[in-house]
Structure 1
Amino acid sequence: MHPIRTFFTAYKKHVTRFAAITAGLVLLFFILNALFPLPPVPSYSTVVTGDKNEVIHAFLSRDDKWRFKISTRELHPDLKTAFIHKEDNYFYYHPGINVLALMRAAFNNTLHLKKTSGASTITMQVVRLLEPRERTYLNKIIEAFRALQYEWVYSKEEILELYINFVPYGSNIEGVKAASLLYFQKSPEQLSLAQIVSLTIIPNRPVSLNPQRSRALLKTERNKWLKRFGEAGIFEPQRIQDALKEDVYASRKPLPKRAPHLSIRLHKKYPKATEIGTTLKVTTQERAQLILTNYMARIRQLGIHNSALVIYNNETRRMEAYIGANDFYDSEHDGQVDGVNAIRSPGSTLKPFIYGMAFDKGLLTPKRVIEDIPTNFDGYVPTNFDEHFNGLVSVEKALAYSLNIPAVKTIEQITPNAFTQVLAKNGFKQIKRDQAHLGLSVSLGGCGVTLEELTHLYTVFAQHGIRYHYATLQQDADSLASRVLSESSAYMISEILTQITRPDLPNNMQSSFHIPHIAWKTGTSFGRKDAWCIGYNQKYTIGVWVGNFDATGVHELTGADIATPLLFELFNTLDYNSQQHWFFKPKELGLRTVCTYSGLPMGPHCTESMIDQYIPKVSTNAVCMHLKEYTVAANGQYSYCTSCIPDGGYTVKLYPNLSVALADFYDSQHIPYEKPPVHNPMCIRVMEEQHPKIVMPVANKEYLIERAVPTELQLKSIVPNDVRKVYWYINGRFYQEAGPKDEVFFLPQEGVTKIACSDDQGRNSSIKITVGFY
């Protein structure tokens, strides 16, 4: 055969054989790749950051490592350069295995009969970091195979990212970001060249070069590598010289633990997140924490141990501070309870929204007069905080003085269901769950709210009646805003809550503290278990809660005396002299003249007036009728109705137009007022609208009575002031004659009981109750 043909035949066979071997190896690789896939990447630690990406809290990974994820894009370019030059100069050019390096290492090791150099690439090191094995020849083969797998699955940048995130730094520290934060208290992009080189050499000897153990040795080794980098021209000579002079300022310090309650809450919500960026402002958080800690130290002797606060910035619509408890580590007093997110009774803090809704429904205006008298609301008998009643008060005084009866009367008008629907729609989770069972008592704290929900709701006043989404996370997207109150209603409530002539101003506050120019509302729950104060101006809305997490009541615990001083101190620190920024009166809000006695537009008999704010086309236009014309006998003995008015011998006089309940209150308190004469006894007309109102017992209620010691029930009715006698009937049988103010009791029988009351003018009413024995 011709020699040339023989050569090409042999060459073709070799090429064919090589191709077959290559194809077989490739096929084998894919088979093994399918049979032995890459293991999942171990979990990272979670780091919680503030608004400027500074660390505020951190959590160990699931395998108890400090291992913070960082991408190569975030990595300091010098750190990346140093790692690649030191560990794998040809990282970007090989497929995971550097064949030339392997051959060189094999030759050198054989020549010197010992290991003098290695041939591990960065990819192979990643394999060892993620799947540690003993150093044997078999494991070297496995390691090489895994390296090829990583190169097939991941990009070069992703492999480098794995390396810098898992490289060891001693103890339970892995990755350059964790090492940078723990050893230098800096993020990697802030490191000096000397610190960068230190981080590149520690992984080779993480025990002996640990900064905690031998700074001198670390400095010596660091300087060796700085000189090598200089000789290789990796970094400028001047930078090398400056780095050589730098001492080793490295020691392991704990990571910050600011806002632990919020951090734990977010970590539970996002357990797989490597970084949770919050909107917390570290300076605001730390100042608020210091104020809270010092304040609680001053009141601890009162038996009050817990507090919480949240601060919203109304301009940026971000949360700036979140303190779930004044001392997270106070295990004796449940310091790890998150007071910002705990469900508590809100006391009187919901009253501004009740009146705001009433303004928007046209039911009330600030000067409108409302009754503050003992009232039985179908078995619910609230009292004021001081257990006193004021008779007639304006709405603005009722709110500023946080009176209970006017608030209950108002929510009765707008209905508890309509009110709780608004709260449920605006993020009150417990109220949404309990809505079907909530009644009038919700106005006085008979519901469950959190400090976060309540403070967020108060931002409505600062935002002209609109509830915006306030971000807690940096990536929070704006959600649709919802209008809760009209701008006019929000403004009127703010003007009322800005007044400083009110009982919830702390004792001696005016002489001892600078009072910030804010609107604020206090609240104290039943049993004095919760003290609240929520305040706002144009810049901030701040909510504080003070009490005991175990619900222990304290006599001194009130919103005015305990929570308000803390709120004032926070505002004075964060926004001193804020009066230059306040809310402008809306154009839609009108002014009108109203009667001083009722707060309604002037009626025909009104003589004294004042100016009131109102919402045109919304607020009621009903005129004042605080005086009523009575036709009375010339001698003033009797009054006449239209049915019995005589032909002569009478005159027309004006008398206070009081409700039966208000007249009864004045009589019981011996408050003098001008009473109209009794109705003409000879008149045969029965005025059904003035029939007796049975207030005790309560209609349609079930009463449980102990059989062994039966308790009598009281009979009480409210009647017009011309009534002198009332007559009581039990199950159709006459029971007793009594005066309108006399105390009457009876011993009920088991089952349904009908109770009737008739007055001396023939007017009557009846109710039914159910009695059970146990």
Structure 2
Amino acid sequence: MLRDGGLTPRTLVPDVPLHYSGFIPENFDRRFRGAVPARDALAWSLNVPAVKMLQQYGTPRFHSVLRRWGLTTVDRPAGSYGLTLILGGAEGTLLEVTGLYAKLAQLAVGAPGGGSEVRFLRDEPVRRSAMALDGLGPGAAYLTLEALTGVNRPDEEGFWKKFSSSKWVAWKTGTSYGLRDAWAVGVTPAYTVGAWAGNSDGEGISELSGLSAAAPILFAALNRLETGGAIGKPARALSGLLVCRDTGLLATDLCPTVRVDMPRESRFSRVCAYHQWVHLDQTRRYRVDSACESVERMVHESWLVLPPVMEFYFRKYHPEYRSLPPFRPDCGGSLQAETGRRVMNLVYPEPNTSVYIPVDLDGQPGQVVFEAVHRDNRATIYWHLDEDYVGATRDFHQISLRPDPGEHRLTLVDESGRRIERPFRVLK
């Protein structure tokens, strides 16, 4: 997606609850961060942003890329994997996975002849690699590896950047579905090393993970090798791009800016829409407009405004994030004009969602938990199903309902009369 212009390394990717026809991806730590830069989502192995990016990129397209790049074990139709394709839902041999990472490094450094194949043993003959990462250039390869140098190291390697003798390594871990396989691959200028841990019969192991089981083996091997310093930046394959420091999108006049490296052939064009002018009173505690405050007394400030559901999780990890101030009580017109979508979101159901009613242990239909978020932590939300009032929530906006099969409409209204609506279907 870097080369295609889909994102920059700093572009914020949503990390919020997702539902795809019964598939509910979770991060390994079962937390949501609201939004994370793309490079951090990759380095931290966050499943939810990965699924969101695959949904945007397209599963059939990604499936085709993996096949072209030499993963022979991806041998079923794309639809049989679905969005799990990016979460370890497909098989892969350690040799082929390690070979892909080696090819990534060889592409980044411009290895002549396309580089060489990964070998099991030192005395194996060196052969030119048959893998070809077509569609990926040196710039995108380097930026991917650069992101993977930011992964937290296991145990004594955890603070490797503080020591001048530490070795440069871009690395990634993974854990297959069912906790059957743990792997780790590390890339250096001189070597690419892959490590696997698990049962030979494929039986899952409780608490198995790539970080705890395979990464220590990887670093034990790397510490015995002369790895060749660091992979240098391919300056001719990169160009600078001025983006919003907070969102990683093209900067506007309202954004604090930072320059990032991008593949030279990329045509990134997404403009930041999250920074907005906010008009405050002299106390800076309330928003105002010309109906309740003179323009001369207003304080105008650029403000980062994330969508409510992203903000709800984002501010837990970013205490510096400032929620929008409320409108001053005498600015009633502006308060009424503010749409519900600016202050609250439905977490579930998402747009165009089909809802499944669970079956309880007694065989009777269960209830579905609907969830919403509001910018104001103290707000009360009034819930309506098909125009019938079903309850109110405060602080934690979750409500359990048992709608009949068919088409429905959920309506949420807060104390100020702002409302959002969401149609959904209940399957039989």
1:493 aligned residue: 144
CA distance, structure 2, for counterparts of residue 581 and residue 723 of structure 1: 51
Deviation string 1:458-490 (CA, Å, 9 cap, x unpaired) is 23212216977849998x998694514111000
2:371 aligned residue: 716
CA distance, structure 1, for counterparts of residue 41 and residue 212 of structure 2: 19
1:729 to 354, 359, 384: 384
Q: For residue 767 of structure 1, what is the amino acid of its counterpart? A: P
1:344 aligned residue: none
Q: Is 2:421 the partner of 1:768? A: no
CA distance, structure 1, for counterparts of residue 299 and residue 206 of structure 2: 57
CA distance, structure 1, for counterparts of residue 128 and residue 252 of structure 2: 53
Deviation string 1:648-685 (CA, Å, 9 cap, x unpaired) is 56443333322212222256789574333335433454
Q: For residue 711 of structure 1, what is the amino acid of its counterpart? A: G
Counterparts of 1:119-518 in structure 2, within 5 Å, are 358-366=1-9, 368-371=10-13, 373-378=15-20, 380-464=23-107, 470=117, 481=132, 483-499=134-150, 502-503=151-152, 505-509=153-157, 517-518=168-169
TM value normalised by structure 1: 0.46
Deviation string 1:43-88 (CA, Å, 9 cap, x unpaired) is xxxxxxxxxxxxxxxxxxxxxxxxxxxxxxxxxxxxxxxxxxxxxx
1:738 aligned residue: 393
- Any unmatched runs of 5+ in structure 1? 1-357
Q: For residue 403 of structure 2, what is the amino acid of its counterpart? A: P
CA distance, structure 2, for counterparts of residue 401 and residue 491 of structure 1: 18
Q: Is 2:216 the partner of 1:565? A: yes
What is the Cα deviation at residue 686 of structure 1?
A: 5.9
RMSD: 4.0
Deviation string 1:241-266 (CA, Å, 9 cap, x unpaired) is xxxxxxxxxxxxxxxxxxxxxxxxxx
Q: For residue 433 of structure 1, what is the amino acid of its counterpart? A: R
Q: Indicate if the aligned counterparts of 2:33 and 2:314 stay in contact, CA closer than 8 A.
A: no
What is the Cα deviation at residue 636 of structure 1?
A: 5.7
1:464 to 1:438, Cα distance in 2 relative to 1, 3 A: same
Q: Is 2:176 the partner of 1:528? A: no
Secondary structure of the equivalent of 2:12?
strand
- Higher RCO (Cα < 8 Å, 6 or more apart): 2
Query: Based on CA coordinates, which of the two structures has the bigger radius of gyration?
Result: 1
CA distance, structure 2, for counterparts of residue 510 and residue 737 of structure 1: 47
CA distance, structure 1, for counterparts of residue 171 and residue 316 of structure 2: 35
Q: Is 2:408 the partner of 1:754? A: yes
Identity %: 25
CA distance, structure 2, for counterparts of residue 407 and residue 485 of structure 1: 18
Deviation string 1:586-617 (CA, Å, 9 cap, x unpaired) is 4121235555433445543445x554212345
- Any unmatched runs of 5+ in structure 2? none
What is the Cα deviation at residue 516 of structure 1?
A: 5.1
Secondary structure of the equivalent of 2:107?
coil
CA distance, structure 1, for counterparts of residue 413 and residue 15 of structure 2: 23
Counterparts of 1:662-701 in structure 2, within 5 Å, are 662-666=310-314, 671=319, 673-679=321-327, 680-683=331-334, 685=337, 687=339, 690=342, 693-697=345-349, 699-701=353-355
The alignment covers a number of residue pairs equal to 406
Q: For residue 375 of structure 1, what is the amino acid of its counterpart? A: P
TM value normalised by structure 2: 0.77
1:690 to 1:430, Cα distance in 2 relative to 1, 3 A: farther
Q: Is 2:266 the partner of 1:618? A: yes
CA distance, structure 1, for counterparts of residue 36 and residue 118 of structure 2: 40
CA distance, structure 2, for counterparts of residue 723 and residue 479 of structure 1: 60
Q: Indicate if the aligned counterparts of 1:531 and 1:545 stay in contact, CA closer than 8 A.
A: yes
1:747 to 1:675, Cα distance in 2 relative to 1, 3 A: same
Q: For residue 2 of structure 2, what is the amino acid of its counterpart? A: F
CA distance, structure 2, for counterparts of residue 759 and residue 710 of structure 1: 28
1:434 to 1:662, Cα distance in 2 relative to 1, 3 A: same
Counterparts of 1:21-32 in structure 2, within 5 Å, are none
Higher normalized strand content (fraction of residues): 2
Q: Indicate if the aligned counterparts of 2:74 and 2:91 stay in contact, CA closer than 8 A.
A: yes
Q: Indicate if the aligned counterparts of 1:374 and 1:405 stay in contact, CA closer than 8 A.
A: yes
Secondary structure of the equivalent of 2:102?
helix
1:631 aligned residue: 279
1:427 to 1:587, Cα distance in 2 relative to 1, 3 A: same
CA distance, structure 2, for counterparts of residue 428 and residue 771 of structure 1: 37
Q: For residue 764 of structure 1, what is the amino acid of its counterpart? A: I
CA distance, structure 1, for counterparts of residue 289 and residue 89 of structure 2: 45
